[in-house]
Structure 1
């Protein structure tokens, strides 16, 4: 990992420790600010829609003006979001924080993935993605306990102030990095414009319909996200309402998953580089499908611990391989918008999935939603193995053919 990438990862850890301090507790804060249960649901529905409006634009801007510059712009929006969280007089005003926070995530996430690709050689890219995401998992382990302690003993406002300070520190470093990056490169002759955005979208659209690896990533990812969203939002309800696990036990299960992911990300990245991305993806999804099958057939904490450990290992195998695969089949000048297009399109497709899963739970059986990810994964495994093979032609040639 380069020094610049290490500093960038440091800012990601700082910013996301701040985010993980409050995200698990945000429903309680919205309720404390005067919202009833239905209004809490409305709040999070809007929260899910807001990123969709920014992700493609954020990815395009990342391609146009530079990764670090786009991250810096998004970070300013994130700082404004924390201001809204601290000073909002009612839950309605918190929606402003949701929108600005969505802008931050939509600008940072595509740039984060693309920046790692550009700061790592192709032959070790999977390993670098694995190391980066292993470091990133620290935030899921330390952020929630810090947020829980501060909010419990000093109140939600104090928690958001501490998170604001952490995120603000990350933003200052990002602004300095963006300034240094601007000084070290020759300005582009072509300024960002909507014509350029349309050309990028057309080129990305060509990749999506060309029938190559990008097409099959999009199809499989859309199906996977939809079916998994139908059931994974119901995991805590199933474990507590039907099995009787406590909140503390469910929290420990989340920690087990995060720790397993962190431990296996680096070797998973190595596996991706040595044996190819599709092996990690197929093995990872096989483990997750097996974990879901075990989930609906166990009734003890130790069984659920095994399930969540498998979830963590499966995710560790999939994530660096997926990111490395996308970075290799998408031209460098389209990587930012590619991550934005994937996130937005798949987010739109899977948006109603949690509601559909809840209806299946209520009208048929609580176990029924969990069969969908098992079946679709088993159907997609041979497709992934056959289609997720790096083409001999370059991505630019694939765009030209499209």
Structure 2
């Protein structure tokens, strides 16, 4: 008798990915260009760095809570709550009279990101079998890369020919449509939840944080994921918000060209994510992680020696190749070493703690730009990545007793 083969991606996961794509096309229409919008509203380079530093405070208030709430009330319900907050942010972007007002939008946007991101990772993990998780993460991220292909060029054209405010009107309409669909999905999911489910409480939150804190401080693989992530995030935060300013103000690229660079990155990532997920399942996560970060370091080296659009296109292609190798492997590794009941909290705790460490990084990067040379901030992610590569290779191989995520049938 022929056994029906279970699909890698469930129907519910495909519908979920559809809402993620719609919402994030909206975000990718403006995110690569946001430093230019801040500058257009009157900020200088130092104030742009200050904006992103202050803006980084807002997610810290929501990320742990958002991750825990995802564990407590359900992934789709947490995503729906965050989406409503994100929609309010678009109204602020449209009507903001000065760059300082955009900080209000970062608060509501942080609510969306902090509720959606941990739920996104955890939902994919729960909708996939452990032996195929790398491939499912790879396929999910490959579908998600559509947003980086479609969004930035549209954002570049609309902002260059019709202005940033019209860009946010179009993007807000797309995000609003995604929010409506997410609310309907959350309502349907709520009907299937058991009335006997444990209600969220502060005691639950405290228990989850204590459990995750124990994993982070235990000295095992979770500790080293946290340390390497922190070093990388601090140095990359010093440089990445300055990339559009460097390319436009110093190298003469247009908004459209900057948008196309993001698309090149997304195309390369999308093409390679599924085979990268297969590599993670077959050869282990650390190979993809280390090789991917090696490519990121190479991309930064090429960036520092590029002056034309074609040179930067090579850089963004390398970024895409590296990201394709890293994403499915990193998420698969975390899902194996963190119990399912703590995954939302884990993503929230990781991003909050690392966010605290990297909080002043954008402002420091802007000060290095203004006081020394615009090129200086971009050396830090290059050298930091090279520093953590051997640590990742040695430490990112979980021991049998560290595979906590496999104990619950995930």
Q: Establish whether TM, by shorter chain, passes 0.5.
A: yes
Q: Equivalences for 1:97-116 in 2 at 5 Å? A: 97-116=105-124
Determine the structure 2 residue equivalent to 1:261. Answer: 269
Mapped pair 1:62 → 2:70: yes
Deviation string for 1:55-101 (max 9, x for gaps)?
A: 11000000111101111111121222233444556665544332222
Q: 2:24 aligns with which of 16, 22, 28?
A: 16
After TM superposition, give the deviation of residue 387 of structure 1 in Å: 1.0
Contact 1:295 1:304 in 2 (8 A): yes
Q: What secondary structure, in the 3-state scheme, does the structure 2 residue paired with 1:191 have?
A: coil
Determine the structure 1 residue equivalent to 2:136. Answer: 128
Contact 1:210 1:398 in 2 (8 A): no
- Cα distance between partner residues in 2 of 1:60 and 1:327: 16
Q: 1:224 aligns with which of 228, 232, 242?
A: 232
Deviation string for 1:197-237 (max 9, x for gaps)?
A: 11111001000011111100000110111122233344445
Q: 1:74 aligns with which of 82, 88, 106?
A: 82
Determine the structure 1 residue equivalent to 2:150. Answer: 142
Q: 1:180 aligns with which of 188, 192, 203?
A: 188
Q: 1:333 aligns with which of 330, 336, 341?
A: 341
Contact 1:16 1:139 in 2 (8 A): yes
Mapped pair 1:353 → 2:361: yes
Contact 2:35 2:241 in 1 (8 A): no
Q: 1:213 aligns with which of 213, 221, 229?
A: 221
Contact 2:152 2:259 in 1 (8 A): no
Mapped pair 1:118 → 2:126: yes
Q: CA 1:79 to 1:364, structure 2 compared with 1: closer, same or farther past 3 Å?
A: closer
- RMSD (CA atoms): 2.8
- Cα distance between partner residues in 2 of 1:367 and 1:92: 27
Determine the structure 1 residue equivalent to 2:6. Answer: none
Q: CA 1:301 to 1:21, structure 2 compared with 1: closer, same or farther past 3 Å?
A: closer
Q: 1:320 aligns with which of 314, 325, 328?
A: 328
Determine the structure 2 residue equivalent to 1:276. Answer: 284
Mapped pair 1:198 → 2:209: no
Contact 2:289 2:329 in 1 (8 A): yes
Contact 2:137 2:328 in 1 (8 A): yes
Contact 2:266 2:320 in 1 (8 A): yes
Q: CA 1:275 to 1:108, structure 2 compared with 1: closer, same or farther past 3 Å?
A: same
After TM superposition, give the deviation of residue 52 of structure 1 in Å: 1.4
Q: What secondary structure, in the 3-state scheme, does the structure 2 residue paired with 1:389 have?
A: coil
Structure 1 unpaired stretches of 5+: none
After TM superposition, give the deviation of residue 111 of structure 1 in Å: 0.3
After TM superposition, give the deviation of residue 127 of structure 1 in Å: 1.2
Contact 1:131 1:265 in 2 (8 A): yes
Contact 1:131 1:269 in 2 (8 A): yes
Mapped pair 1:5 → 2:13: yes
Q: CA 1:227 to 1:88, structure 2 compared with 1: closer, same or farther past 3 Å?
A: closer
- Cα distance between partner residues in 2 of 1:372 and 1:104: 30
- Cα distance between partner residues in 1 of 2:141 and 2:380: 28
Q: Equivalences for 1:141-180 in 2 at 5 Å? A: 141-151=149-159, 156-180=164-188
Contact 1:207 1:398 in 2 (8 A): no
Paired residues, what number?
398
Q: What secondary structure, in the 3-state scheme, does the structure 1 residue paired with 2:194 have?
A: coil
Q: 2:302 aligns with which of 270, 284, 294?
A: 294
Structure 2 unpaired stretches of 5+: 1-8
Contact 1:52 1:344 in 2 (8 A): yes
After TM superposition, give the deviation of residue 168 of structure 1 in Å: 2.0
Contact 2:138 2:274 in 1 (8 A): yes
Contact 2:33 2:255 in 1 (8 A): no
Deviation string for 1:367-390 (max 9, x for gaps)?
A: 444443333323322211121112
What TM-score do the two structures reach when normalised by structure 2? 0.87
After TM superposition, give the deviation of residue 39 of structure 1 in Å: 6.2
- Cα distance between partner residues in 1 of 2:106 and 2:245: 25
Deviation string for 1:301-339 (max 9, x for gaps)?
A: 444332221111011101111111111110001100111
